[in-house]
Structure 1
Amino acid sequence: MQLSTNLVRFSHWNRFLISFSMIATLVNPYIFGVTLYFWIFLVFFDFEFVAKVNNINKKYLLVMLMWNLLALLKMDLVLFIKLNTIFLGVVYLYLMQDKIVDYLKISFFISCLFCILQFILYFTSPSLALQFAGQGLSQNIWGEKYGTAGYANQYVTLFLPRMSGLSREGGFFASCVSVMILILIDKNKFKGKYKYLSITAYILSLSKSSIAIILVFILKIRPLINKFPRMLLILVFSILFVSIANHLNINDSKFIFAQENESIAHRLSSSYMIQHFSYDSLALGCDNSFKCVDNYVENNIIRFAANGLEPIQGINGIIVLTGYLGFLLFLFSIYIFKIDTFGVLTIVIFTSSITFITTDNFIILAYYYAYSSSLLRKN
């Protein structure tokens, strides 16, 4: 009896730590140039999850094998690790469902409370506000050497300074808020005081990434959206981003290096770049130098990437990072995982400002929501 009680208690705390490590990026240390997420290891101590691993659809494992082979062909260890980290996170969330979502909710609301605290400190003690956000907070936990990378960019956006909760920075937190609201609505858990706390956090983290909340407002027409072909939606957005990149001519030095254009240029750089691929880069995409386009010396996007602003954002970033083989494999994955059009739209929107293999919480949560909610409606 005592053993059973201890196991229940252990399971309770382990799942809380898993969810908190996933939601609160800043509590994870930065070692050997990467953020070491505790949840990756802790999930293997969730014995109920381990027992359910055999339930994974073999088709999904085949898809992951294909992605891993692609990473090996590129000899890209980082791609290999990130792909498997995302798959592990999504599989864990799906197999555990409400047994982990309840803990995610608690962890998320702790992050929301930090957001509110940061907002109050911004007006009462700005220097202290920085110590409770971004890299400052992580370094207070782990020290200067092991504090995870973050940016407490608490500047005014849409009349209010934007806060970042326990995420790396404001935009990431805004995306986390949006996708968590979607998940909680889907689980019928978006109610009461938690609803108002989520809305408050959304307002206090307003940024360009906050546009993702539009998905909440179009939930009621999801059946209508799902009548639109999934693959066509991806191609439409791909072409749309290419058209905008060309219209703005983001490779022009006067545009791309203007500070006020940095964010939009970064988001659209992949859409411009794929039009100028050298032939030997078409299949597998670029290496880390991004010197994979014709006349690369004259390509300002390459110089842009040298400053850390790599052209791998959004749907077209899949092509830059993994070539057209990777893009076709992405389409194949959508088909095998039976993600509906609304789920595809979710992925497109949440990855529009970040690479599709980002291991930060909101991307893993977005993939989980896209898959889980699509499957729920099919059943």
Structure 2
Amino acid sequence: MKIPEARGPVSAGLLDLLSGQPGADPAALANLHELVTVQLRAAGDIIEDEDFQLALFCLYELHYGGLEDVDDHWEWNPGLLGIRQLIEAPFEECLRSAALGCTTETRLPPEGTLSSDDVAAILFGLAAQESGPSMSRYVAKKATLEQLREFLIHKSIYQLKEADPHTWAIPRLTGRAKAALVEIQADEYGGGRPDRMHSALFARTMRGLGLEDHFGAYVDSVPAISLAAVNMMSLFGLNRRLRGAIAGHLAIYEMTSSRPNQLYGQGFRRHGFGAEVTGYFDEHVEADAVHEQIAGRDLAGGLVEAEPGLLGDVIFGATAVLAIDGRLSSLIMDAWDNSRSSLRAAVPAGL
């Protein structure tokens, strides 16, 4: 990913540090650690903090495709990992607080007696809750061509590397849950066909609307909440202790995907686009109707059957998705309802 523009002192300090060689300037690393500590004291809910979310996004990207001209040895630099953990702690705290607002009325059986079907039922109950304004219905019936492009730009922050954050969980799971996750991910990665990978299908959709199709092209254009939605996945996926949360995250993602993607496809067809553009959405209508069952019963349910103590984190992962996606949808819909762009900066030439 190309180096983005800094959004404050923390991201500026991080990007400056990453421009050098790991270990070459211990004082600079110590100074950044102190800066993060000081800035966190003054920060509130960092879910929508532009500076911290960009910094965290860049720190996580070191574990994915990397940052352009940044030495790969930074990935496991102990000092940098310490800085990441400093930011992760309040981020997780804020996510847990936000998730409390998305509860279910389902009465839980006594601890230790939950079956995989019980877990799936709880998750399906959560998925049925309204978490914010319906962007999918708006896209289907009202969105302008410019708004469709904005919609794709927001989604590109994850969809161009779709499935990668969840894949971190594979070696952390065993048995039924592991097999279920591998089954889902195999489909996400195209069943061995590069052109059928979901990230590749999304790239094709972006090209069809004249947008850049390489990962990170629009990082500078999206607000903090769009970054937070992806950072949440990386937080869950990269921390073994949160393996329950990443399972719950994927389960609710699959359970809330099929119908919205059907509506998204309708919105793009309304503007005259054919299968070259709508193929990504059409693929998810069918695939996720199957995946939601596997994710709910075999992945999340199988995990809780094997490790009952992880139920709380499974529910946390699911409700955090609903909370953050609801906030993102509200931000976008409020902008559109008031004839404003939902992006924070002009997009690169080509839109």
Q: How high is the TM-score relative to the length of structure 2?
A: 0.31
Asked which structure has the greater RCO (Cα within 8 Å, sep 6+), the reply is 2
Length-normalised TM-score, structure 1:
0.29
